[in-house]
Amino acid sequence: MALIVKKFGGSSVATPEKMLNVAKRVLEEKKPDDKIVMVVSAMGDTTDELIELAKGVTKEPYKYAREMDMLLTTGEQVSIALLAMTFKELGEKAVSLTGIMAGMKTDSAYTKGRILDITPARVQEELNKGNIVVVAGFQGSDKYGNPVTLGRGGSDTSAVALAGALGADTCEIYTDVEGVFSADPRVAKGARKMNEITYSEMLEMARLGAGVMQPRSVEMGQVYKIPIHVRSTFSKNTGTIIREDYTMEEKSFSIRGVAHDEDVTKVAILGIADTPGVAHKIFDALAKANVDVDMIVQSMRNIEKNITDMVFTVANTDLVKAKEVVEKVAGELNASKVLIEENVTKISIVGAGMLGSPGIAARMFGALAKTGVNIEIISTSEISISCLIKGGSVKEAVNAIHDEFFPREG
Ligand code: ADP
Ligand code: ASP
Ligand code: MG
């Protein structure tokens, strides 16, 4: 007997036919004693469509974050009901549960909630009754009973967290690609599928934009020590296992992968006093508004006049909140100007092996230079180097960097 959590993304359950295929595959592969929990996303592009719908009543839907969550959670609710009905039509016992019913408790950070605790008693109960349990991904509820979503791509996190809380034997993430690749396979022509990747390298790839897994889901996997199998809904091939350490020999390259993120806005507060407490004032206000800040650069603009500029990036989805906060703080700090640029992209290389190899950064910058792309900000971590770029073709830039580190054969 095995307890298996299987998560199916939006493209895997985009139509009733696809749901039927998913249900048939699950039943085909299920051993008689297996207990199956399915976590599903909203059908196809439903979440995007719901966001567009909200834009019909307000230019800035994320200003009303609680209502956005009330709206967005409906997408997953449609999927679970239809998938449970599909199983029943096939003669199987199945039941749908919302995130709240599955015991997913979150904080109140609407649209980017964090799971605080999971008490999956109802899931256990339904499994014991012989049901396939179909749980809505991406959602939970806060202590007041409000629905809260877990940020875009959050069904991955629901699945891994539920697998951890249930003590599942395996967690499988079914998606529209064959696994985790060395770069987004829809962008990099030479992208290679990995057999394995460690939690820490996957977390860094995900954090830097590799949308195949939500970063928090990888963190959850690491916390619960659950290996995560990322694989295709549309083929039976083995995908990529995300786990603590490598177990197989793979062809070694100097880096593990390239990630890119187009969901980035650059914010610059110009002409502020270069005195203690200024950075704290800006970033404390942003933190209090729950805005995640990424690359931060403080320049040395005018030493004589003791004036500096503060430049940083935020996710596009946080822009409305960030703008409100920054304009207020900039006024209080007597800043000369606030500049906001939305069309920027962060491209990164990731690999635990790059530590202490300065040549790697030079190769990345060289590849970007060849495509004529200008680098606006550079930041590094122990296992990654990121460049913020503006203009030029993102696709060309990603391919240039990927080809530099993963030469195409033939
Ligand atoms: P799902 O709806 O199944 O959750 P997502 O669209 O969230 O699917 O994630 C799968 C997509 O992630 C792929 O279609 C691919 O374009 C993108 N992606 C980005 N980086 C990578 C990568 N390194 N490896 C695999 N896929 C990636
Ligand atoms: N439906 C949500 C989204 O599109 C959650 C998910 O698919 O993981 O972001
Ligand atoms: Mg996803």
Query: Does residue 355 sit within a domain?
Result: yes
Is residue 203 in some structural domain? no
DSSP string, 350-392: E-GGGTT-HHHHHHHHHHHHHTTPEEEEEEEETTEEEEEEESS
- Mean pLDDT, residues 78-96: 98
Residue 219 lies in a domain: no
pLDDT value of residue 251: 73
Question: Final residue of a domain: which of 176, 195, 212?
Answer: 176
Whether the pLDDT of residue 392 is over 80: the answer is: no
Q: Is the pLDDT assigned to residue 201 strictly greater than 70? A: yes
Give pLDDT tens digits for 319-337: 988 999 999 999 999 999 9
Smallest CA separation from ligand 2 atom 8, residue = 153
Task: Please name which ligand lies nearest the alpha carbon of 180.
Answer: 1
* Atom number, ligand 2, closest to the C-alpha of residue 9: 7
Nearest CA to ligand 1 atom 15: 184
Question: Is 168 found in the same domain as 21?
Answer: yes
The average confidence (pLDDT) of the chain is 95
- Under DSSP, is residue 169 helix (H, G, I), strand (E, B) or coil? coil
Q: Tell me if 47 CB under 6 Å of ligand 2.
A: yes
Residue 389 belongs to domain spanning: 258-405
Tens digits of residue pLDDT in 240-258 = 999 999 888 777 778 999 9
Q: Say if residue 355's pLDDT is above 90.
A: no
Q: Is the CB of residue 180 below 6 angstroms from any atom belonging to ligand 1?
A: yes
pLDDT at 354: 85
Instruction: Give me the number of domains the chain comprises.
Output: 2
d(CA 29, CA 16): 20
The pLDDT of residue 284 is 96
Give the pLDDT mean for 268-277: 91
pLDDT of residue 191: 97
Which pLDDT score is estimated for 1? Answer: 85
Question: Is 192 inside any structural domain?
Answer: no
pLDDT band at 357 (very low <50, low <70, confident <90, very high): confident
Atom 4 in ligand 2: which residue has the minimum CA distance?
47
Binding site membership of 10 for ligand 2 (Cβ less than 6 Å): yes
Judge whether residue 87 has pLDDT over 80. Answer: yes
Task: Kindly state whether residues 62 and 152 are assigned to the same domain.
Answer: yes
Q: 330 lies in a domain?
A: yes
Ligand 2 within 6 A of 154 CB?
yes
Same domain as 271, residue 139: no
Q: Which among 103, 97, 68, 55 is positioned nearest to 80, based on CA atoms?
A: 97
**Are 112 and 18 within one domain?**
yes
Which residue has a Cα nearest atom 9 of ligand 2?
152
Average pLDDT of 283-293? 94
What pairing do the DSSP bridges indicate for beta strands 374-381 and 307-315?
unpaired
> Quick one: tokens of 228?
């995560």
pLDDT of 302 > 90? The answer is no
**218-239 average pLDDT score:** 96
Which ligand is in closest contact with the Cα of 176?
1
CATH number where 322 lies: 3.30.2130.10
Q: What is the pLDDT of residue 45?
A: 98
Distance CA 167, CA 87 (A): 24
Query: Are 152 and 289 in a shared domain?
Result: no
- Give the number of whichever ligand sits closest to the CA of residue 12: 1
Residues 137 and 284 occupy one common structural domain: no
Q: Which of 127, 153, 176 is the last residue of a domain?
A: 176
Ligand 2 centroid, distance to 43 Cα (angstroms): 9
Ligand 1 contact, 186 CB (< 6 A): yes
Q: For residue 175, how far is its CA from the centre of ligand 1 (angstroms)?
A: 7
Distance of alpha carbon 342 from the chain centroid: 19
Check whether residue 169 and residue 288 sit in a common domain.
Answer: no
Last residue of some domain: 156, 176, 196?
176
Does residue 388 sit in the same domain as residue 279?
yes
Q: Are residues 166 and 70 in the same domain?
A: yes
CB 292 within 8 Å of CB 325: no
**pLDDT, average across residues 366-372:** 94
pLDDT greater than 70 at residue 303: no
> Ligand 2 atom 5: the closest Cα is on which residue?
153
The mean pLDDT of 300-304, rounded to a whole number, is 70
What does the pLDDT read at residue 247? 87
In a domain, 204, yes or no: no
The pLDDT of residue 199:
97
9 in ligand 2 pocket by Cβ < 6 Å?
A: yes
Instruction: With respect to residue 193, please indicate whether it lies within any of the assigned structural domains.
Output: no
Amino acid letter for position 363: R
Closest-lying ligand to the alpha carbon of 152? 2
Measured CA to CA, the distance from residue 100 to residue 117 in angstroms comes to 11
Same domain, 18 and 150: yes
Does 266 lie in the same domain as 169? no
- When pLDDT is averaged across residues 205-210 and rounded to a whole number, the result is 97
In a domain, 242, yes or no: no
Q: Which residues pair with 264 in a beta bridge?
A: 315, 344
Q: Identify which of 177, 197, 384 to mutate to test ligand 1's pocket (most ligand atoms within 8 A of the CB).
A: 177
CATH number at residue 171: 3.40.1160.10
What's residue 236's pLDDT?
95
Residue 211 CA, ligand 1 centroid: distance in Å: 5
Question: What's the pLDDT score for residue 204?
Answer: 97
In this structure, are residues 217 and 203 in contact, taking their beta carbons and an 8 Å threshold?
no
Q: What local confidence, expressed as pLDDT, does residue 410 receive?
A: 65
Tell me which of 43, 80, 104, 138 to substitute to probe ligand 2's pocket, judged by most ligand atoms within 8 Å of the beta carbon.
Answer: 138
Ligand nearest to the CA of 214: 3
Amino acid at 149: T
> What's the CA-to-centroid distance between 87 and ligand 1, angstroms?
27
Does 10 contact ligand 1 (Cβ within 6 A)? yes
**Ligand 2 atom closest to 75 (CA):** 1
Cβ–Cβ under 8 Å, residues 188 and 398:
yes
Q: Are residues 162 and 277 in the same domain?
A: no
Percent of the chain with pLDDT over 90: 87
